[in-house]
Amino acid sequence: MNRLLVLLGLCISFSSFGQKELNWSNLDSVFVYADQNSSVSKANAQQILLARYEKLASVANIINLRSPVAFNLTNNTQLPVSFIPSNLLGGPPGTFREITLGQEYVSNLNITPQIDIINLGAWSRVRSAELNQEFTLENNQLSRKTLFESIAATFYNILSLQEQIEITRKNALATDTLLNIVNDKYAQGLVRKQDVNDAMVNKINLEDKINQLSLSLDQQYTSLKILCDVPVTTKVSLTGKMNYADLIPAAPPVSSQLQFKASVLQSEMAKADLRTNRLLNMPVLSLLYSHSDYQNSNEKFFDENKNNPWLTTVYFGAKISMNLPDINQIVNARNSKVSYKLAQITMEHTKIQNDGNNTELQMDYEKGISQLAASKEVWKLKEENYRMARNQYDQSVIPFDKVLLAFTDMEGARLSYSAAMANIEFLKSKIDINNKLN
């Protein structure tokens, strides 16, 4: 019974978790959620942590402390035989006598710490690690910028689709009115059956358009969930609306230099790697220390006999070591030199590309302003045309197909105006993202 209650409680808790709802009223609130929950942000945090560990390791490797400890127990079950002149032991000259040297049980504890005093290659690696840490931060900002731009595009697509659905539903109500008018006139014998059919087709098309827009809206919400790593079962809703009353400002200057900064750091990293590969061939000065305790016995290991005490040897020293050049080192040095030149070429190109992207974004914004103004003017004119067509139709001046054409043109112009507004809002946010994440 207790287990059943526990399982029931878990099911209820999971169910409530699955029904969690997120309501975002503006784009910044989505950015805050993405910074805390998206896989991009989590991966960026781990990349920064990894870069810090690599820097700490490079600093610790400057002295390269090694402290090997060895403890050996050797049982010489058969000692080696040596030959010495017999006359040394009172025997006849010219002959040799076999003797066995050594003891059966040999115990040896050896501690030999060593540190590097001068290691130019290790010192150079510290600079490489520092540059790698800076590059990681810049690269994380680039991935964050890409994420925010994708979120902004999806955000304003959703606002635009929500508005288009609302507009289309209002227009669908207008088609009901048109259909009723045509039916009344058809009943009076004033219009053809074809006009009734056209009015019905117009109503069906608008209903289908609402369905298509709703499906597109669901797709955009799914895309937003994926970008922000929101669970599929969580309901997401955007309550914000596009403000047509806001005065559209002129295109602000775009000052983003993230791409160029990252390429500069890549060039400096390649230069540091080249220097490191060259310094690895330089001599390394190390300090040595050795402490050994050993005991030899013919009785047993750890012999407690006073005649077999543990003996100690200690020494200090210095060592200069250097690797002779080999083919691998030569190839690595050549490859580093080529990589550095390639990084310089990429850096110069990225500077031009970065400035070009900034200029292009400004131009896109200016084009968006022009498109927004034109679409608004076209919508106003098409709306006026539709009102005039309705009046003319009510007075039996024009046929019904002219009214439907004016209605379709008005609806398309209003939807284009909504899309243009969403585009300018997206471009504004994109410029803000580029300038802030600089």
Question: In this predicted structure, what is the pLDDT of residue 10?
Answer: 41
In CATH terms, the superfamily for domain 20-64+118-283+326-436 is Outer membrane efflux proteins (OEP) (1.20.1600.10)
SS3 percent helix, strand, coil of the chain, rounded to 5, is 65, 15, 20
Using CB atoms within 10 Å of the CB of residue 180, give its burial: 0 to 12 exposed, 13 to 18 middle, 19+ buried: exposed
Q: How far apart are CA 163 and CA 203, in angstroms?
A: 19
Question: In this predicted structure, what is the pLDDT of residue 13?
Answer: 40
Q: For residue 240, count other CB atoms closer than 10 A to its CB.
A: 18
Using CB atoms within 10 Å of the CB of residue 131, give its burial: 0 to 12 exposed, 13 to 18 middle, 19+ buried: buried
* Cβ atoms 110, 314 nearer than 8 A: no
Give, for all 438 residues of the chain, the pLDDT tens digit.
Answer: 344 433 444 443 444 344 488 999 999 999 999 999 999 999 999 999 999 999 999 998 888 888 889 999 988 888 777 777 877 777 778 787 777 777 888 889 999 999 988 888 889 999 999 999 999 999 999 999 999 999 999 999 999 999 999 999 999 998 888 888 889 888 888 888 998 898 899 899 999 999 999 999 999 999 999 999 999 889 999 988 887 877 777 878 898 999 999 999 999 999 999 999 888 888 999 999 999 998 888 878 888 877 788 889 999 999 898 887 778 888 888 899 999 999 999 999 999 999 999 999 999 999 999 999 999 999 999 999 999 999 998 888 888 889 999 999 999 999 999 999 999 999 999 999 999 987
Distances (CA, A) of 98 to 68, 83, 93, 120: 39, 5, 14, 55
* Cβ atoms 52, 113 nearer than 8 A: no
> What are the tokens at 193?
């059956």
- Residue carrying the six token digits 């059956």: 193
Question: In this predicted structure, what is the pLDDT of residue 433?
Answer: 94
Using CB atoms within 10 Å of the CB of residue 400, give its burial: 0 to 12 exposed, 13 to 18 middle, 19+ buried: buried
Angle between helix 120-187 and helix 27-37 axes, rounded to 10 deg: 140
Q: How far is CA 314 from the centre of its chain?
A: 54
Q: How far apart are CA 7 and CA 81, in angstroms?
A: 78
Backbone φ and ψ of 236, nearest 5°: -120, 135
Q: How far apart are CA 38 and CA 33, in angstroms?
A: 8
Q: What is the DSSP string of 268-298?
A: HHHHHHHHHHHHTTS-EEEEEEEEEEEEEES
The pairing of strands 21-24 and 235-238 is: parallel
* Cβ atoms 104, 73 nearer than 8 A: no
Q: How far apart are CA 229 and CA 34, in angstroms?
A: 8
